[in-house]
Structure formats: structure tokens, C-alpha cells
A and B are shown apart, each in its own frame.
Chain A
Amino acid sequence: MKKTSVIAAMFCLAVAATTAMAASEHPGKESIEKSGYKGPETCEECHPGTAKAFLDTVHWKHASKVTNVDGLDPKKEYGMKNRVYVMCNGNDIVNNLKEIPKSPVTGKSKFTGCNTCHPGNHLSDVGSTGPEAEAAIDCLVCHSSDYDFRQRKAFKNEKGQVVMGQDRSTKAALSINKPTVKNCMTCHEAAGGGVIVKRGFSFTKDTDAHAAKGMVCADCHKAKHHKIPTGLDPNNWANDGVLISCADTSCHGTKPHKDADLNRHCAKIACQTCHIPRTGGAFAKDFTVWEQTPDKFYEPTTLKKEANETIPVYAWYNGTVKNTAHFIGPKGSRKDGKSKITPFKIFQGKAYYNKQTGELLSMDFAPPMSDGDTRAGVLSAAKTLGLKNPEKIAKEAVPGWQTIYFGSNHLVTKSKALFCSNCHAPNGVLGFKDLGYSDKEIVKLTSPELYMEKVAKKQKEEW
């Protein structure tokens, strides 16, 4: 215990020291103090071109060209702006930020819309361009450690337009830093319809080995010109064209272990498979039946667990994605030479399908949120999208299920990483048969012969 306390103390010191430094060091502080914060133009004095470049990123456009997914037009852009799936059965277009119809029970309304998770002011919305858009960027939501979130709320201005508020105080602009976990989690924590819903994404010292080391999102997601690198989650299509992976040479490389057996496994098994043995969040939602909440509004029926409370499914993944009305997930096989066994957070959602075409329909959440009428939501969305015969489509729409696989790339552990017998025991986690191994191979792969010596040695060390 003594030794760990000392280490913990030193560690806390180091973390405290770095945060303290980062917080006090922004060279622009004095100037901002003098002339006040007027929005991006203040930053532009010393960081020229930043705002303009920002407009060309996923965080502003909620879309990009996508090359690894079946059935898409390579010339078009896709993302939260226009996709439809069953984690959130709509997009920025059909669920544009607005006031919902008044609740027939309470007479109250509220604001809702997917594009609340956008660093604009809604007047300059997802994908907008030009000087006005540049001036509307909320730099501080990602860069201030003293942001007052009471300001970041939707309201109606004098003209009756719905505006997304920002904290543009000089006070907030005096605490500029490289983005902290909190800055990023402003939007990422509640993706999918509430805290931890989409992936059980919690980034704390208890839930993630990197968070425990004091790392922040931007330590791995290092951005240049605000192009933030990402991976190949089969359900996060939009990207800034920059990739990261655990095995990057600047991070761990492909042979991170002293144990040669573990390193050998990296050829066929993704790092995440061993190092992210759990996932969490919602595992099923029903968008055709909404539940009344205590405030008398409605929410889609949602089944969910905490971070690290569910287990992933494993599949071969080569980075390309099968995309159909009832399934969006990884493609790959044991034999293609490119795939690795990869963990996914699996999710199933029920929503309406177009009776004529079989396509998954999207839903405007405003009507069902108010009174639970989900077909009214389909109707409103069909109208917004200019579909022919929207009334007919909504009336005939058929409920159905879609299964989607999410990448599982955080919640990293070293101490609970899968070891030999977690996979090679007959009740191991992988399901060799489904992964394409023959009965003969499985006999071999599930024999203690493979790991007896090694695990015995480890057991001895542990005691």
C-alpha cells in the first residue's frame, strides 16, 4: 500500500502540475483580457485562418465522404447530418432543433434536435459556410476550462428564430487550453440519447486505463487544423480523413508485449479484443413505442446497462462495412488476410420501414415526444424529406428490427485484459465455431496444452 500511495501521490502531482501549467499558459490571455472576447475574430488575430478551416471538418459539417461502406454514393457526404439508423432514428435534417408541440397533458413544450451537438449557434447550422458561419463557431466549448453551461441552451430570439446559446464571456476566454475530457464530453458523453447510451462511453480512472494515467481525448485524437483523427467504427462513418489505431508506431506499435505469445496473436486479433473485454450502454430501443416520462413527455423505450456491464460480440473485421436496411456492421473473414477478430458493441433497434421500398424510415422526434404518436413523427420526417405520398408512407409503415455493430474502442484495461484461458478454455469468450474454425481446430484451440505452462507461471507470480 505504501508504495502505491507514493506512486499515486507523485502521479497526482504530475497531473495537477500539467493541468495547472496548461491552464495558465495561453499566450493570448493578456490581449484577450484587454480587448475582451468577441468570438472567433478575437482568436483570429493570432490564429488566422482557424475559423475558416474549422468549417471544413466533421465537427462542423456532421458529414464527409465515406469510402468503406456498402451502397453509398462516393461523391456524396454522409454523417449525423443525413444518416438513418436505429440508435437515433433520424438525423440533423428531420430532427432540426425546434420547439416540440405542447404536451396535451401539461401544456408545456421544450426544445429538441440532434444539432444541439454542434458548435454553431443554429442560425449558422451544420455545414453552413461563409463569414457568418465563421463568426458563429463556439471555440470555447472545446477550449475553455471555465465555460458556463447555462449559456449553452436553445432559446428563441426576437425574430422567433431558434438559437443555440454559447458562453462568449471574456471570463471563459481567459481560460483557454488544449481540450480537456470534459470539453469533448460536452457532446460525446450523451451521444445516442443520454449519458453512456450509445457505447457505455465513460472515460474515468475507474473505467479506462488511459484516463487513469491522466490522458485526455486529444492526447490520442491529436488534431491538425481541427481534423480530428478517428478509427473505423462501422457506425461512425463521417471522418476527417485521418486515421488512428492503438498499433500506430507513435502509440504502441504492433509488438507491445514482452510476451512473444501475446505479440504473435496481434496478427489475427485486434488489440481491443483483449484490452476491451466489456462494453455497455443501450442494447435495445423501440422507436415505434415511446414511454411517458415523469415530466409527461415521451422517450423511445430503451433498455440499457452501465459502462463495462455488457460483453461484446466478436467478428472478423477488415474495415469495410455491410450496410442494409436490417443490418449495419463489419465485413471480413478468417481467410481474406486483412481481417482481425474485433470486439463490437451490439445493438438492436425497432423502427418503421417503408412498406413499398423496404427502406428504413426516419422519424421527427418532436411529435412523439409531445404525445407519443410515433407515426406522426414518420409523417413529419417524410414531409421534410419531400417523399412522395407522405401520409400513405406513414400510415402503412411497417415496424421492424435493425441490428447494428458499434466499434468498441475505449474502456481499455491492462489488468483485466484477456489472457490465454479466457479464450482457449472450452467456455472461452470467442466462439471459435462462429468465427470459422473447424471442429478439429477447435479441439486444439481449446486444449490447456496451449497455455498450461504459461498460466501456471502467471498464477505463481500473482501469489
Chain B
Amino acid sequence: MKKAVSVMVLVAIAAIGLLCFSGAAMADEIKMVGVITKIEIAGKDANTATATLKDNKTESLIVITVNDDLTLDKFKDHRIVEGDEIRCKYEVIDGKNVSKLFRKTAGC
């Protein structure tokens, strides 16, 4: 139980961290549509991941850093997998392409 509590506290602290630091960036957003060629995520508890997208327009490979819980969760349970086509908005922060929107394009 003790361990569980400390994990929860960590979770709580992480959550507060997110609350405090989000919204600070003001960089321009870049939009792209591309197919995922690779997802790298370090296990079930990871709070960040990278996905490599092949840009449909330029065919170039772009590595996107994903930090939002909803998308991370979709990587973890494979609702989003390699081969899926993604509509992505990202910002360049400290040299990283940080995702602001990461969504499957699939329609009707």
C-alpha cells in the first residue's frame, strides 16, 4: 500500500507539472498528414513517445514527440499503430517536433 501511495503522489506531481508547464510555448504550428512508419514508446508507464511520420506531400520522414496522455494511451493499447495515416499539428520546441494534435484520418 505504501508503495501504491508513493506512486500516486508521483502521478499527482507529474500531473501538476503538466498543468504548470503547458501553454508556455508560443511557436508556430506546423500541419502535416502522413503515415506512421515507426512508434517508439518505453513501456506501459512511459509519459513520452516518438512517432515517425512519412509526410504525404514531401515523402520525408519526420520524427514527432508525443506527450499527451490520450495519444500515448492509444499507442499503448494499439488503437494507433504503424501504418495508420495521421493528421498532425506540431511545434518545434528545443529542436523537437512536439505534437499538438495527433489524429487518425479515417473517415466514414
Question: Contact residues of A with B, CB < 8 Å?
Answer: 5, 8-10, 12-13, 16-17, 20, 88, 112, 146-150, 182, 186, 190, 193-195, 197, 204, 293-295, 299-300, 302, 365
Kindly state the separation between the CA atoms of A295 and B34 in the bound complex, as whole angstroms: 10
Task: Determine which residue in B7, B33, B70 has the highest number of CB atoms from chain A within 10 A of its CB, and name it.
Answer: B70
Given contacts A13-B9, A149-B79, contact A193 B108 (CB under 8 A): yes
Q: Mark B16-37, 1 if CB is under 8 A from A, else 0.
A: 1001000000000000010100
Task: Determine which residue in A112, A190, A294 has the highest number of CB atoms from chain B within 10 A of its CB, and name it.
Answer: A294
Given contacts A20-B4, A20-B8, A195-B103, contact A148 B16 (CB under 8 A): no
B8 touching A16, Cβ below 8 Å: yes
B72 CB to nearest A CB, Å: 12
Task: Determine which residue in B8, B103, B107 has the highest number of CB atoms from chain A within 10 A of its CB, and name it.
Answer: B107
Given contacts A149-B77, A294-B56, contact A194 B12 (CB under 8 A): no
> Quick check: is B60 within 8 A (CB to CB) of the other chain?
no
Given contacts A150-B81, A294-B85, A295-B85, contact A190 B106 (CB under 8 A): yes
User: How many B residues, CB 8 Å from partner?
Assistant: 26
Given contacts A182-B73, A294-B56, contact A302 B107 (CB under 8 A): yes
- B104: which A residues are within 8 A, CB to CB? 190, 194-195
B99 CB to nearest A CB, Å: 14
- B11: which A residues are within 8 A, CB to CB? 12, 16
List CB contacts (< 8 Å) of B85-108 with chain A.
Answer: 85, 103-108
Given contacts A13-B9, A190-B106, A194-B105, contact A8 B16 (CB under 8 A): yes
Question: Contact residues of B with A, CB < 8 Å?
Answer: 4, 7-9, 11-13, 15-16, 19, 33, 35, 56, 70, 73, 77-79, 81, 85, 103-108
- B103: which A residues are within 8 A, CB to CB? 194-195
A16 touching B33, Cβ below 8 Å: no
Select from chain B the residue with minimum beta-carbon distance to A192: B108
Kindly state the separation between the CA atoms of A10 and B15 in the bound complex, as whole angstroms: 11
A193 touching B107, Cβ below 8 Å: yes
Kindly state the separation between the CA atoms of A90 and B33 in the bound complex, as whole angstroms: 27
A12 touching B77, Cβ below 8 Å: no
B12 touching A13, Cβ below 8 Å: yes
A86 CB to nearest B CB, Å: 11
Task: Determine which residue in B7, B8, B105 has the highest number of CB atoms from chain A within 10 A of its CB, and name it.
Answer: B8
Kindly state the separation between the CA atoms of A48 and B59 in the bound complex, as whole angstroms: 55
B12 touching A9, Cβ below 8 Å: yes
A-B contact pairs, 9 of them (CB 8 A): A16-B7, A148-B77, A149-B79, A150-B81, A194-B103, A294-B33, A295-B35, A300-B107, A302-B107
Select from chain A the residue with minimum beta-carbon distance to B7: A16
Closest 6 CB pairs of A and B: A12-B12, A193-B108, A294-B56, A299-B107, A16-B8, A150-B78
Kindly state the separation between the CA atoms of A8 and B19 in the bound complex, as whole angstroms: 9
Kindly state the separation between the CA atoms of A141 and B52 in the bound complex, as whole angstroms: 28
Select from chain B the residue with minimum beta-carbon distance to A21: B4
- B35: which A residues are within 8 A, CB to CB? 295
Kindly state the separation between the CA atoms of A293 and B38 in the bound complex, as whole angstroms: 21
**Which among B56, B70, B85 is the interface contact of A204 at CB below 8 angstroms?**
B70
- B79: which A residues are within 8 A, CB to CB? 149, 186
**Which among A147, A197, A294, A299 is the interface contact of B77 at CB below 8 angstroms?**
A147
**Which among B9, B15, B77, B105 is the interface contact of A293 at CB below 8 angstroms?**
B105
